[in-house]
Amino acid sequence: MTLTDTACTRTDAAAPITVDDIRTSINPILQRLAATATDRERTRDYAFDDVRELAECGIALTGIAVSDGGAGGSVRDVADLVIAIARADSNVAQALRTTFLVAEQIARHEDLPLREVNLDRLRRYALFAGTSNERSGGASGSVATTARRVADGYIVSGRKYYSTGGLYASYFSAQAIDENGRTIRFTVPTDRTGVQHLDDFDAVGQRLTQSGTTALHDVQVFDDEAVVAGEHVPDNPWTGSFAQLYLAAVQAGIAARALDDAVWFVREKARPIKHSTADKSSDDPYVRQTVGQLAAHAQAAKAVVLLAAEELHALRGLNGAAARTAGAQASVTVAQAGVVTIESALSAAQLLFDVGGGSITDRHLGFDRHWRNARTAANHNPRQWKAAVAGAYHLTGEDPPTTGLF
């Protein structure tokens, strides 16, 4: 697979794509996203062109093996890339989450159902969205969406929420319950008749992640687009670890961007307070201390994400008891990374305002979005649970839950 006929160009288009190729080609796009993030959030302007260009630069192929047409990168390479995207615009990074989850499953499992189909889609720069979440009023995690059996597949009806990235996506994945109570997992094109994405996400943060409703009105799902869930129990049942690592990487990116904005404001805009001993803010010892604290939070967040990514990568090739033991440990490491990155991002977003006076709160700067985005993402998977699970593991050896949130 080569990157040809796309917005991205490389010196040798015939050579296999590399991680460095991807990082180099997306740098101008990330610069544009960073420069426009504030205005786009204020006007609810989605970055359709930039996201399409990111896809065509092969971002989803970062962790795919070279033999499968990918760049052959590690989980650390993928996590580092996600941090860079989130540093530019955390909304965009969050919106791409499902695409990277699909890519990680393909990279990790050679016997994955529909692997070749979805691999081919990724090589053609497709983007994915998906969710199992509903606002049906049922118990947490319950599914009200139905799959009615017909001759060549199913007819699916229901409503899904938190369908992050839905307006960018080429394919949508979800699950439904059939007449026999089985969970049916399916992936369909987003332009399939009956699939309707609603731009109704109204949280205080992550406003441009497209995390609203997907309505499914008698959608035809063919047999080769669906699988019955639960027919295979993996040696490592902690299948949600990468998904949680991804959220931690987004938080690390938010912390990094808060540092960028603090440095910019001090250098370009800030004035020393009246009783400061410094002639310019960059020389004020308390401003320096604040920026140093903020930088430490950003560094800690990135470090724990990359450490956890290396531990997840080391799981590849393990099976049996070794896979289960290492999987539990990696799940806890990811949970601990989640705690650190959430607290680091929230602290960094708060400290940003301590480097200036009243003018740093001007609405046109949009600096409040860092805290709002970090806070909203943190509420998806509360860090108290992550910390408690990690504590139980260290104290008693109790395994973490296999709910997908660890």
- Percent of the chain topping pLDDT 70: 96
- Token representation of residue 377: 């993402």
pLDDT given for residue 214 in this prediction: 96
Mean pLDDT, the chain, whole residue set: 94
| DSSP strands (E only) in 190-278 | 195-197, 214-222, 226-228
| DSSP states along 143-208 | ---EEEEETTEEEEEEEE---TTTTT-SEEEEEEEETTS-EEEEEEETTSTTEEE------SS-TT
Note the pTM of the prediction, 2 decimals. Answer: 0.95
- In degrees, rounded to 5, the angle at the alpha carbon of residue 389 between the alpha carbons of residues 384 and 390 is 100
User: Which class is 19-126 in CATH?
Assistant: mainly alpha
Confidence of residue 111 (pLDDT cuts 50, 70, 90): confident
**CA–CA distances in Å: residue 155 to residues 15, 173, 178, 306, 352:** 44, 14, 10, 42, 51
Confidence of residue 381 (pLDDT cuts 50, 70, 90): confident
The string over 138-148, giving b where at least 16 C-beta atoms fall within 10 Å of a residue's C-beta and e elsewhere, is eeeeebebbbe
What whole-number distance in Å separates Cα of residue 222 and Cα of residue 80?
37
Q: What is the CATH number of domain 146-228?
A: 2.40.110.10
Q: Where does the chain hold its CATH 1.10.540.10 domain(s)? A: 19-126
| 286 Cβ contact partners less than 8 Å away, ≥ 6 residues apart | 276
User: Which class is 241-396 in CATH?
Assistant: mainly alpha
Report whether pLDDT(4) > 50. Answer: no
**pLDDT single digits (tens) 206-250:** 999 999 999 999 999 999 999 998 767 789 999 999 999 999 999
Tokens 């060549």 correspond to what residue? 152
Q: What is the mean pLDDT of residues 135-154?
A: 86
Closest alpha carbon to 295 in 211, 351, 357: 351
Who wins on pLDDT, 2 or 121?
A: 121
Question: In this structure, what are the phi and psi dihedrals at residue 174, rounded to the nearest 5 degrees?
Answer: -160, -170
What whole-number distance in Å separates Cα of residue 92 and Cα of residue 48?
10
Q: Where does the chain hold its CATH 2.40.110.10 domain(s)? A: 146-228
Report whether pLDDT(396) > 70. Answer: yes
Confidence of residue 14 (pLDDT cuts 50, 70, 90): low
Helical spans, DSSP H, in 57-154: 75-88, 90-95, 97-108, 115-123
Q: Where does the chain hold its CATH 1.20.140.10 domain(s)? A: 241-396
**pLDDT single digits (tens) 186-208:** 999 999 999 999 999 999 999 99
**pLDDT single digits (tens) 330-350:** 999 999 999 999 999 999 999
Say if residues 401 and 357 touch (Cβ distance below 8 Å).
no
**pLDDT single digits (tens) 65-97:** 999 999 999 999 999 999 999 999 999 999 999
- Token representation of residue 262: 């603090």
Q: What is the mean pLDDT of residues 15-30?
A: 96
Give me the amino acid identity at 352.
Answer: L
* Alpha-carbon torsion (133, 139, 141, 146), positive or negative: negative
What whole-number distance in Å separates Cα of residue 210 and Cα of residue 166?
6
Report whether pLDDT(2) > 50. Answer: no
Report whether pLDDT(1) > 50. Answer: no
| 261 Cβ contact partners less than 8 Å away, ≥ 6 residues apart | 352, 365, 367, 370
The string over 43-55, giving b where at least 16 C-beta atoms fall within 10 Å of a residue's C-beta and e elsewhere, is eeebbeebbbbbb
pLDDT given for residue 361 in this prediction: 96
Who wins on pLDDT, 4 or 59?
A: 59
